[in-house]
Amino acid sequence: MAKPLLRLGAVGLGDYAAFTDESSISGHRYMLVGGISCGSSHAQRVHDFVRRARLGSKYPTDSIQWKHYRDEKFDTYKRLIDFFVIEKEAQRIDFTCLVINTRDLDHKRFNDGDGETFFQKMMCQLYLRGIIGKYPRTSIVRGFHGHRVSRYDMAEVRSIINATAAKDSGDVIYRPLRQFEYKRVEDSGPHQLADVLLGAVSYYWNAGIQRGGESRKRKLAEYVQSACCSVSLGRPTPPWMRNFDIWEFRLRD
């Protein structure tokens, strides 16, 4: 029997789960932080679908991630994207992506010379504006980020996010982020879906990827764009677009 994705108890109404990751974190002009979110009770369905798609493919030991794609796997990845579109249109799942122009970064001036500090700031922005802000104030959110090495403790980052949310809301006891942990992308179906979506968005924002070794992923990137977005994945989505949000973070001078 497969291990449940989330702990028991994460099934109530107003209980949401976010599965986030990063893309093009170094060596590219635009870095991305984003992911998918849905009702916590629905996350297991997403996980099970991805697992079945993987086990039913020609490469059942390969996780369904952007880095593993090649054209002979197109049908498996297409199946994943088609599932996402159905869930998105039914308003059962959201995709949110924060895009940062790395040419505007000045870590020495704003982040004590530390890129990891800046990354954690962007994590906070993603959760506060892109995820928690989507749901009613009575909701709670459980956050799971793709496993990465960082000196920042997730409990500390969660405290910062909750404190900021409380300050912004004017409610000193408001604590929307109930859980915040790392999770291995290879073991999480929702993370693999998020990974493919982030990879496609990065493909359109970073022209160097299109010209480089990942140009072989053009077929997949074009399908994601045609299926998921009525405008280009390479620019911010318009305000009227529901359940699919790409926004460029503007750094202050």
Beta bridge partners of 98: 33, 247
Q: Whole-angstrom Cα distance, residue 178 to residue 6?
A: 13
Task: Say if residue 90 is exposed, middle or buried (CB neighbours under 10 Å; 0-12, 13-18, 19+).
Answer: exposed
Would you say residue 136 lies in a domain? Answer: yes
Would you say residue 1 lies in a domain? Answer: no
> Do 162 and 176 form a contact (C-beta atoms < 8 A)?
yes
Would you say residue 151 lies in a domain? Answer: yes
Would you say residue 10 lies in a domain? Answer: no
Beta bridge partners of 28: none
Would you say residue 197 lies in a domain? Answer: yes
Buried b (16+ CB within 10 A) or exposed e, 100-119: beeeeeeeeeebeeeeeebb
Structural domain for 42, as ranges:
15-248
The number of folded domains in the chain is 1
57: its two tokens? 């493919």
Q: CATH number of the domain that 191 lies in?
A: 3.30.420.10
| Residue 18 phi, psi (nearest 5) | -120, 135
Would you say residue 5 lies in a domain? Answer: no
Buried b (16+ CB within 10 A) or exposed e, 30-42: bbbbbbbbbbbeb
């179906």: which residue's tokens?
189
Q: Mind listing the pLDDT tens digit of every residue in the chain (253 residues)?
A: 456 777 645 556 799 999 999 987 767 789 999 999 999 999 999 999 999 999 999 999 999 999 999 999 999 999 999 999 999 999 999 999 999 998 887 655 555 656 788 888 999 999 999 999 999 999 999 999 999 888 888 999 999 999 999 999 999 999 999 999 999 999 999 999 999 999 999 999 987 666 655 678 899 999 999 999 777 899 999 988 889 999 998 876 5
Would you say residue 4 lies in a domain? Answer: no
Would you say residue 103 lies in a domain? Answer: yes
Largest CA distance in the chain: 53
Task: Say if residue 26 is exposed, middle or buried (CB neighbours under 10 Å; 0-12, 13-18, 19+).
Answer: exposed
